[in-house]
Amino acid sequence: MTCVRNVIARLMIFEHENLRLDLTVSSKAKLYKDGKLIFMGDGYKAILAMISGSQNPDPVRFKFNAQLHMREKPKFSKGDDLEALRKQALESFGKKVETKPKKKSKKSLDYKLI
């Protein structure tokens, strides 16, 4: 017996000023301006294009705060020496911990033919 669940398709269309962002297909976002397609591709880049193309970007930033916050670049204070941090990261990445390989018992290697 086959069980089929009801699937609810959610339309993810966000309109702001003269811009319209269509995120219904997860692999391709579409950004329209005045009814004309101006961008089709990555959703994050479409959100950034919508923010830069709008006169009042605050509602767009509020709506997509989670996506924007997730991709936020690390912030360093002025006192951090970026070159020293980079060298430290490279040195710790190159270190390997040596461990002795476990010896295999002879019993596990012996096979008997019957």
What distance in Å separates the CA atoms of residue 26 and residue 37, rounded to the nearest whole number?
17
Give me the chain's average pLDDT, please.
80
Q: Band of the pLDDT at 38, cuts 50, 70, 90?
A: very high
Which string of b and e fits 7-29 if b means at least 16 CB within 10 Å? eeeeeeebebeebbbbbeeeeeb
Instruction: Report yes or no on 106 lying in a domain.
Output: no
pLDDT in tens, 81-103: 778 888 888 888 766 666 666 66
In a domain, 35, yes or no: yes
Number of domains in the chain: 1
- Answer yes or no: is 37 within a domain: yes
Helix H, strand E, coil C: the string for 51-77 is: HHHCCCCHHHHHHCHHHHHHCCCCCCC
Q: Which helix (H) or strand (E) holds 43?
A: helix 43-53
Inter-residue contact 19 to 31 (CB < 8 Å): yes
Q: Confirm whether 80 is domain-assigned.
A: no
Is position 107 within any domain? no
Domain range spanning residue 60?
A: 13-75
pLDDT tens for residues 6-25? 555 567 899 999 999 999 98
Contacts with 53 (C-beta within 8 Å, 6 or more apart), sequence order: 19, 31, 33, 38
